[in-house]
Structure 1
Amino acid sequence: MVDSYGSSTRTVKAVSSQAVPGQPVMATPVPVSAYHLSGDEDAGLDTYGRSSNPTWRQLESALAQLEGATDALVFGSGMAAISAVLRTLAKPGSVLVVPADGYYQVRAYATEYLASQGITVRLASCHEMLEQAEHADVVLAETPANPSLDVVDLHKLGMVCRRRGARLVVDNTTATPLAQQPLSFGADLVVASATKALSGHSDLLSGYVAGSQPDVMAAIARERLLSGAVLGAFDTWLVLRSLGSAGLRFERQCVNAQAVATMLASHPTVRSVRYPGLPSDPSHPVASTQMTRFGGLVSAELDDTAAAHRLVERSELLVAATSFGGIHTSVDRRARWGDDVKDGFVRISAGIEDTDDLVADIERALSDPGR
């Protein structure tokens, strides 16, 4: 009978495997699923790719474990995760506080969309977050903030929100769960972009939400289903592939960032440096109480736009890129995106190069005008 099939039928049959509801079709790294329906019409598991996926569940279990949560939900990007949380928690008539010095698209989403839905949006810097939380129903904090690298005292903020009865959401993208556990300081939810250090190869977009309150997580899962802000199955597997080496990569990134920040702090061409791991940094006292590592980002102010461009041009190792957390050290001049910083302000994302090589390369690029 098989010999009588046409070419297309034969090739489809050749790659088919036994249909087991709730399991990937092929027992390979490729996380595809044909979503075979079970005979039990009430089962509801993996009936459609927008509602559930066995590879999602594996990744979500891993992310929940890393964040110290009971549950996690993956999304197609960090912004998809954040916007789903804000749509779920912030209702018309409520007061929402978002970072004034954090990721700019969060501010844009809150002011351009949520405010038009009858939500009062208040912008607060890291230093203003505690005061603004006293009048909020939902607080979104980003710490360390991107790109200023200021730090919010999560223990104090958590106490304010609990006393107020406000929901506290913490963007943990910069720190990652390998350096900071916001839920242990009283946060209701953690949101993050897994595009960055957790996936670490600059080849995908992904985000997630983690928490331990079943009703809240169920509401966010419903929002994901209805909005369709889902993560593709193959990208899900790519994040899973990357998590196994995330600890090693992040450890090297933190070591490199510390070394680069230390060098920059004493370099005559650098006007200022921010890194929570520097004892002289204003955020160091708070960061030391809530972070086990200080992350892979360093912010520095050079003379002007031209100086920022020269840094990359003269370097053998630096690349210009606006994302961060990858294996290559990258530089981003943040003023080009509208951040409220000086023209020569750069955010350096430390990669996994050998520390001595990286420090020497950046120092040469800053010091040698003839290169």
Structure 2
Amino acid sequence: MAALRARPQGIQTVYGGLFYGRYGTLTHRAAEEAHAVLEEGHKSCAVSSGRAAMVCVLMGLLRKGDVVLYSSDITPALKSFLCVEMKRLGVTSVSFQASSSRDALLSQHGPDLDRARMVLVETFSPSSPALADVPMLAELCRQRQSLLVVDNTWAFGWALQPLKEGADVSVASLGPLAGDQEWDLGMVTSRRELWPRIVSSCKRLGLVASPEQTYQTLRGLRTLPLRMRQQDQTTRAVVEWMMGVEQVSRVFHPMLEGGAAEKGFTGFPPILSFCLSSENSEEEQVEALVESLKRFRLGWDGSVGGELSLVWPVGLVSDWRREQNFRRPDESGERGRILLYIGLEEAGDLIEDLRRAFECLQEIQDGRT
């Protein structure tokens, strides 16, 4: 009883120490501390998913009358939450192009930026090869005393530390990046001043991370930098090889865009996409190419993050980001776009698999002529 009476009361007890399983266990604390170190933030809070993490941030930091300026390449689910649920609470949402330069952003969205309470951006999106310019956005937000929230899922822990570059909050979906493609877990990391409001929002909403998911993530974090560096190197090798493929009209990857170092990035996400040339982009040809791949499993860009390489024919099926079919050109204006996620396989094995698939594609083309 003496120890119970001496225990400090309030938020530090409920949200910082061991109080009740729903508020976290020692496993949760260990994973949160490790994540905060990787993100170079004050503290982190584990929740049930990446989407739940973003919901906690929005609900904890916004109020009626606020304006959110968000990048157009955020996930459809998050965009829906902003434009439907947050709108019901009196929050206005305005989108902008994540690849916009400083001058273009000020020219097109100057008034929106001036009245925005929060700017929300993804560091990288599979739908675009551009990397977010977090330092530039952080400077604009500081000048206007607004908050910069960054979805750092694709660069978490090794390629970019948003808080170090001036962001206020960093959010990440960690289940896949911890080495497992079957489950999810979200983390929120913030500056010291915002931490009480964010952690209170996480706990009040009850979006609890299970101890098992948290434990698996903690184990995966030990090898995360090693795995991501290897995947980065393999992806670069595949991109360089793809640039010389005759049947490919264009390759999309951040390393081809330039300017990554100026934006604070030290590496690239293990994702690339490419467009087949017009004479090779018919439905039969795209399907034959995908079916010929043996080391790439068929999967979509919402399930990436694990050790297995994936392929997704964006132009062949109705994509969840663009809601388009094969007969309509995608955002690049070209048909036959295919997305590749690079796992932990050897670069030579993946390139050989792609080479054989393109040989099959060439046989189809030769048969037509």
Counterpart contact for 2:175–2:213, Cα < 8 Å: no
Counterpart contact for 1:126–1:145, Cα < 8 Å: no
Higher deviation after alignment, 244-253 or 327-336: 327-336
Q: Deviations over 1:101-133 (max 9, x none)?
A: 232222121112112221111111213484333
The one-letter amino acid of 2:121's match is A
* Aligned equivalent of 1:349: 341
TM-score in terms of structure 2 length? 0.83
Q: Deviations over 1:310-347 (max 9, x none)?
A: 33311110011221121111123446234233663332
**Counterpart selection for 1:358 from 335, 338, 350:** 350
Residue 324, structure 1, aligned to residue 304, structure 2: yes
After TM superposition, list the pairs within 5 Å mapping 1:27-38 onto structure 2.
Answer: none
Q: Tell me, in whole angstroms, the C-alpha distance in 2 between the residues paired with 1:75 and 1:306.
A: 43
Higher deviation after alignment, 55-64 or 138-147: 138-147
After TM superposition, list the pairs within 5 Å mapping 1:110-121 onto structure 2.
Answer: 110-121=82-93
- Aligned identity (percent) is 27
* Aligned equivalent of 1:67: 39
* Aligned equivalent of 2:189: 210
Counterpart contact for 2:27–2:214, Cα < 8 Å: yes
Deviation at 1:361, TM superposition (A): 0.8
Q: Tell me, in whole angstroms, the C-alpha distance in 2 between the residues paired with 1:337 and 1:311.
A: 18
Q: 1:92 to 1:47 in 2, by over 3 A?
A: same
Q: Deviations over 1:181-207 (max 9, x none)?
A: 11111100101111232x122132111
Q: 1:232 to 1:308 in 2, by over 3 A?
A: farther
Helix, strand or coil at the partner of 1:87: helix
* Aligned equivalent of 1:33: none
Q: Tell me, in whole angstroms, the C-alpha distance in 2 between the residues paired with 1:148 and 1:305.
A: 23
Counterpart contact for 2:288–2:360, Cα < 8 Å: no
* Aligned equivalent of 1:301: 275
Helix, strand or coil at the partner of 1:80: helix
The one-letter amino acid of 2:345's match is E
Q: 1:138 to 1:234 in 2, by over 3 A?
A: same
* Aligned equivalent of 1:194: 174
Gapped regions of structure 2 (runs ≥ 5): 323-329, 365-369
Q: Tell me, in whole angstroms, the C-alpha distance in 2 between the residues paired with 1:275 and 1:266.
A: 15
Deviation at 1:249, TM superposition (A): 1.1
Helix, strand or coil at the partner of 2:172: strand
After TM superposition, list the pairs within 5 Å mapping 1:1-371 onto structure 2.
Answer: 39-40=4-5, 42=9, 44=14, 45-128=17-100, 130-131=105-106, 132=109, 133-197=113-177, 199-214=178-193, 216-278=194-256, 281=257, 284-287=258-261, 289-302=263-276, 303=281, 306-322=284-300, 323-334=303-314, 336-340=318-322, 341=330, 344-369=336-361
Deviation at 1:39, TM superposition (A): 4.2
Deviation at 1:287, TM superposition (A): 4.9
Q: 1:360 to 1:188 in 2, by over 3 A?
A: same
Deviation at 1:146, TM superposition (A): 3.1
TM-score in terms of structure 1 length? 0.82
Counterpart contact for 2:163–2:190, Cα < 8 Å: yes
The one-letter amino acid of 2:304's match is F
Higher deviation after alignment, 339-348 or 80-89: 339-348
The one-letter amino acid of 1:196's match is P
Q: 1:224 to 1:122 in 2, by over 3 A?
A: same
The one-letter amino acid of 1:177's match is G
Higher RCO (CA < 8 A, seq sep 6+): 2
Q: Tell me, in whole angstroms, the C-alpha distance in 2 between the residues paired with 1:309 and 1:192.
A: 33
* Aligned equivalent of 2:325: none
Higher deviation after alignment, 55-64 or 96-105: 96-105
Q: Tell me, in whole angstroms, the C-alpha distance in 2 between the residues paired with 1:49 and 1:247.
A: 30
Q: Tell me, in whole angstroms, the C-alpha distance in 1 between the residues paired with 2:261 and 2:242.
A: 20
The one-letter amino acid of 1:361's match is D
Q: 1:46 to 1:260 in 2, by over 3 A?
A: same
Over the aligned positions, Cα root-mean-square deviation in angstroms equals 2.2
Gapped regions of structure 1 (runs ≥ 5): 1-37
The one-letter amino acid of 1:310's match is A
